[in-house]
Amino acid sequence: MSLKSTPHSVKRWQLSGTDYEPEQEHKLRSETRLSMWTPLNNKTNNTQLFEERMNLVLHWFDLWTDRQRKQLLHSLLARCSKCQLKSCRDLLIETVPVTHLDFTAVLPRFLSLYVMSFLSPRDLCSAAQVSWHWRVLAEQDCLWAGRSIRRGWFLPYTPGEKEFGAWKNHYVSCVSTLDWLTPREAAEQYGTLSRQSTGETEEEEERRKERRIRQMIRDKLQEEKRESVRTRRAWGSNTRQEGARGTLTGRLSSSLTLTSWPALSWPQKTVGSSSLDLSLDLGGLSTSQSLERVQVSTLSSERANKASRSLSSFTCRPAASHSVPAVLCPAPSLLLLMSNRVPAYELLLSGVKAGVVVVLFDHRGTLSALLTQAQRAISGQRVQRLGLLAPGGTEEIHLLHGCSLSQQTLLTPDHRDFWEKLSGWVAKREEGGVVDIFSPLAASASGVALMQTLSTLTGLEVQAPMGLGTGSFQNILSEWSDGSVCTGISILQPAGPPLLYVCESVLQAWCRQAQWMEEALGELRGCLGPRLQRASLQARGRALGHFLWEEICLEELCVSEGMKEALIEGLAAIQEESRPVEFLALFLTRWSEENEGQTRCGQEKGLSPLSQLPQTALDWRGAVARELHHSERVYLGKLDAVLKVYQEPLTAALNSNRAILSFADIHIILRPVAQILELNREFQVDLEARLQQWGAEQCVGDVFVKLCLKLRVYTNYLNNYTTALHTIDKCRETKPSFRAFLKRADRTPATHMLSLQELLLCPVWRTQEYVTLLQAVSVHTPPAHPDHTHLSSALSSMLRFRDFTQKVKRNSERDRLMEETQQMIQGCPNLNEGNRQLIITQDASLLRSPDDQIPDSLKTYEHVSDVGLFLFNDALMLTRRTVLHTAFTLAHRSTHTFLASVSLCSLAVREITHTRYVSHAFVLEGPCRSWVCATERAEERENFLCVLRSAMKSALRGHQ
């Protein structure tokens, strides 16, 4: 066989891609020096040849055996320098970590004991054989005392200070000496089914009694253990100041107090011969058998006495539950859950009565956090009544952000677990336990169904307002439904439940002015927010409420409707008097005397006001219709003021060639109001005609249906509402004559002391009131009534329009928030893209670790800068936050500079365990880099991460 021209040691396919080309051999020789394989004077060819030969070597490496690979690696490492070996070491450590630590040597002692508390006695004995340190931990008394006491095995002596493993030895001794009998011995002693036992000695009878009593003690301790576990707090969170756990005044052998024992929960009564409660339910035994069990033998009495002497140095306080005596820890009588989304809640907090525990919760939290906050507030005690004050309507309650309570969501696992646990802290229905909901649920069929389901779930009586009052929150002061409304019986009661929580004067002032005070307090919070960032919301609210109530004397400023009318008449007549102050005083005195005389004459004639009639004798459909007619007249008066005070003068000035506004601007601002006024005047006429001939069979639903057929007028008004406001602001800034006109016309008696912008908001509020009043009429209209069909149709139309109104409002708020965010951040990219909306913002600190190879438990961090986290529905934006303080003042302001932006689909989040070096920290990992951030409080981190994870899940679902 003739040899080929190619080298015999290398095959041709192995030479593919290399520089082996016979025709170029002469050329390569001219370009190399000292070697034909490495062109030193050509860097490009050198790099190409290196990559090709490295690929060739790697291909050979894949074909070799394990032994050949190890031999090659050994030869290569022997030729490497020290710096190259260090690089190999770092690479190997990163790929194959060699860190193996004993958790008992790294974790604190109490955490190691907590981990071992989950082991069984057999596993603890096995762990004690690992090492000397593990034996010391595995034989601690705090791990064995609870297991012994739960089984009724009490240590018969007091351990010494340096005695070690006393409870473990006692547990092992008790286990090894159990009264266990073989089947034959049991048959000889107790007999069988066919042959009864014949001669029982007195000692055996005493032994059986002792076993029965011991089993009774075990059952009682197990029951109290379950009760304490159900009401206790998380492990390790109890302190001496809280008093929710029992503590030991004596000192154990391990120098640990009872509060540091992870697996031990003392019963509510001190264990001893005189404090053991043996009056248990004996499960259907006869009286003689019950007495026989209670009579303790001499042997068991001696053992119990020894146990009581051994625990004589212990002073156990009862666990936090409803069985705590009122002398030691008086139980609160009322519990009020109040959302911080309630307008002007600071005023309500200032008027809370004594004996009422208020839980002001953040609407951005979770149900579990709210439950924990309520549990801490009442310290595990039972309350007589539970009140819930949160934003809501006639069908649902906006309990938390994105978590509404309605008939559909009540039976979900989260809501069901929340209400079952919360109702366990309220007295039973037989003892007067009631749940008061400050939302007009009783005004709609869906709300009544929600109340009925909630009453069935909690086993308590549920009460709510009937929604007969109009206004922002004035339905709270109207009639309240009794618990029997859930059964279909309309039994009403005066507005008594709210007055049990808050003073009447404060509640009335808040209900009437909540909407206006919320706007003022919103501006006040915006001014004081940067200065009082470290102050809690509750302290800030109480300070503001104290200022309004004590300094301004808000109670003295609240006047009745009659006094307002008298003041208006007096002010109208005071213009012609030379001494106005004396005239006004005399006028008010005469008016008061005349009013008292008319009231006295009316009472003598037997004319009693409507509110003094018994509630069951009233026609509730008629009451709602009269309320509708009265509120409609007030509403029409405000709309008519818009035309008389604003449209007519502006139109007259335009016709006289002294125009204040152009025709187009007047048309944009005031033309929709004129259309609404024309529509509602027809509605008012039809409604007044029905009221003049009111009877049990009278109908108002067809009048509402006629109104609903023309709701396009309101739809056009809502679509034009934002444009009208922008037009007013633009004209007010650019036209001084219009600015002077508004200054003369706004907030006068003719405009009901309202401005033009506030009057334009009245149609939006009125549609909300229509829904409430329609639901109230529907509840009191039986299905057989001829008006039921029209009311249902009108109510469904109004509900759809209400949803449309809320959608327009959300879109407006979203646009405003995005515009403010765009202006706030310097160098920010365009945010108005797609359907993007801002979810939450959070201030945090940006951290950096000097060495990433250190374990997380020992890793230290340094503060790099302050950052702002802006979470959108599709991305997370990080900004560099700079705090600038103002000279000679305590005020400061924050500026934001764009730092980075990460899509939620490619973002990962990881929490950092709390250590002595860092707290409340978490890691945000993007495709290219990661950021370590930390918040000031644990609540802020938990809330932000919860919202972030929810937004990430939604973004991933939308991306898929």
Does the pLDDT at position 69 exceed 60?
Answer: yes
Sign (positive or negative) of CA dihedral 655, 660, 663, 666: negative
Torsion of CA 534, 536, 542, 547, to 10 degrees: 20
Does the pLDDT at position 509 exceed 50?
Answer: yes
Does the pLDDT at position 167 exceed 70?
Answer: yes
H or E element at residue 144:
helix 141-150
DSSP 224: H
Displacement of CA 738 from its chain's centroid (Å): 47
Phi and psi at residue 335, to the nearest 5°: -125, 125
Does the pLDDT at position 389 exceed 50?
Answer: yes
Quick one: average pLDDT of 450-469?
A: 86
Phi and psi at residue 397, to the nearest 5°: -125, 125
The tokens of 666 are what?
């007047």
Beta strand pairing call for 908-911 and 921-925: antiparallel
The DSSP annotation for 366-432 comes to: -HHHHHHHHHHHHTT--BSEEEEE-SB-SS-EEEETTEEE-TTTTTSHHHHHHHHHHHTTB--GGGT
CA distances from 824 to 820, 865, 870, 894 (A): 6, 18, 11, 9
Distance CA 711, CA 827 (A): 45
What are the start-end ranges of the E strands in 278-380? 334-339, 356-361
Contacts of 55 (CB under 8 A, 6+ apart): 17
Residue 696 neighbours by CB distance under 10 Å: 8
pLDDT digits (tens, 9 = 90+) for 488-500: 444 445 557 888 8
Closest to 903 in 3D by CA, of 926, 878, 932: 926
What's the pLDDT score for residue 948? 92
Does the pLDDT at position 191 exceed 60?
Answer: no
Quick one: average pLDDT of 636-641?
A: 89
Q: How far is the first Cα of the chain from the last one, in angstroms, to the nearest whole number? A: 65
When mean pLDDT is compared across 59-63, 331-335, 578-582, 627-631, the lowest value belongs to 578-582
Sign (positive or negative) of CA dihedral 150, 156, 159, 165: negative
What's the pLDDT score for residue 676? 92
Does the pLDDT at position 870 exceed 90?
Answer: yes
Beta strand pairing call for 930-934 and 921-925: antiparallel
Task: For Cα atoms 228, 229, 234, give the angle at the middle one, nearest 5 degrees.
Answer: 120
The tokens of 246 are what?
């029992």
Displacement of CA 391 from its chain's centroid (Å): 14
When mean pLDDT is compared across 270-284, 366-380, 620-634, the lowest value belongs to 270-284
Percent of the chain with pLDDT over 70: 69
When mean pLDDT is compared across 184-198, 299-313, 357-371, the lowest value belongs to 299-313
What's the pLDDT score for residue 355? 84
What's the pLDDT score for residue 846? 93
The length of the chain in residues reads 960
Closest to 899 in 3D by CA, of 882, 883, 880: 880
CB 425 within 8 A of CB 382: yes
When mean pLDDT is compared across 128-137, 161-170, 239-248, 751-760, the lowest value belongs to 239-248
Displacement of CA 320 from its chain's centroid (Å): 24
CB 439 within 8 A of CB 450: no
pLDDT digits (tens, 9 = 90+) for 149-165: 888 788 878 888 778 88
What's the pLDDT score for residue 581? 60
Sign (positive or negative) of CA dihedral 439, 444, 447, 452: positive
SS3 462: strand
Facing residues of 767 across strands? none
H or E element at residue 829:
none
When mean pLDDT is compared across 14-23, 241-250, 636-645, 921-930, the lowest value belongs to 241-250
Displacement of CA 388 from its chain's centroid (Å): 14
Model confidence band, residue 229 (pLDDT cutoffs 50, 70, 90): low
Task: For Cα atoms 745, 747, 752, give the angle at the middle one, nearest 5 degrees.
Answer: 105
Secondary structure (H, E, C), 20-69: CCHHHHHHHHHHCCCCCCCCCCCHHHHHHHHHHHHHHHHHHHHHCCHHHH
What's the pLDDT score for residue 471? 62
When mean pLDDT is compared across 6-20, 95-109, 595-609, 812-826, the lowest value belongs to 6-20
Contacts of 444 (CB under 8 A, 6+ apart): 394, 395, 467, 775, 776, 778, 779
The tokens of 813 are what?
């708020």
Q: Which of 295-299, 399-403, 516-520 has the highest mean pLDDT?
A: 399-403
Q: At what angle do helices 663-692 and 620-642 cross, to 10 degrees?
A: 160
For the sheet with 921-925, list strands across it. Answer: 825-826, 892-903, 875-885, 862-872, 838-848, 930-934, 921-925, 908-911
The tokens of 346 are what?
């600071």
What are the start-end ranges of the E strands in 410-550? 434-437, 461-463, 480-481, 492-493
Block residue for tokens 């600190």: 845
pLDDT digits (tens, 9 = 90+) for 710-744: 889 999 998 888 889 999 999 989 999 999 999 88
Contacts of 705 (CB under 8 A, 6+ apart): 790, 793, 794, 797
Distance CA 778, CA 785 (A): 10
Distance CA 720, CA 711 (A): 14
The tokens of 652 are what?
């007259």
Does the pLDDT at position 876 exceed 90?
Answer: yes
Percent of the chain with pLDDT over 90: 14
Does the pLDDT at position 41 exceed 60?
Answer: yes
Distance CA 222, CA 531 (A): 53
Q: Is 675 left (phi over 0), alpha (psi -120 to 50) or beta?
A: alpha
What's the pLDDT score for residue 115? 92
Facing residues of 346 across strands? none
Half-sphere exposure of 319 (CA within 13 A, CB side): 18
The residue with greater pLDDT, 533 or 868, is 868
Block residue for tokens 């070491």: 89
The tokens of 201 are what?
């000695």
Model confidence band, residue 33 (pLDDT cutoffs 50, 70, 90): very low
DSSP 101: -
Instruction: Write b or e for each residue in 165-185: b if 16 or more Cβ atoms lie within 10 A of its Cβ, otherwise e.
Output: bbbbebbeeeeeeeeeeeeee
The tokens of 264 are what?
């031990």
SS3 781: coil
Model confidence band, residue 99 (pLDDT cutoffs 50, 70, 90): low
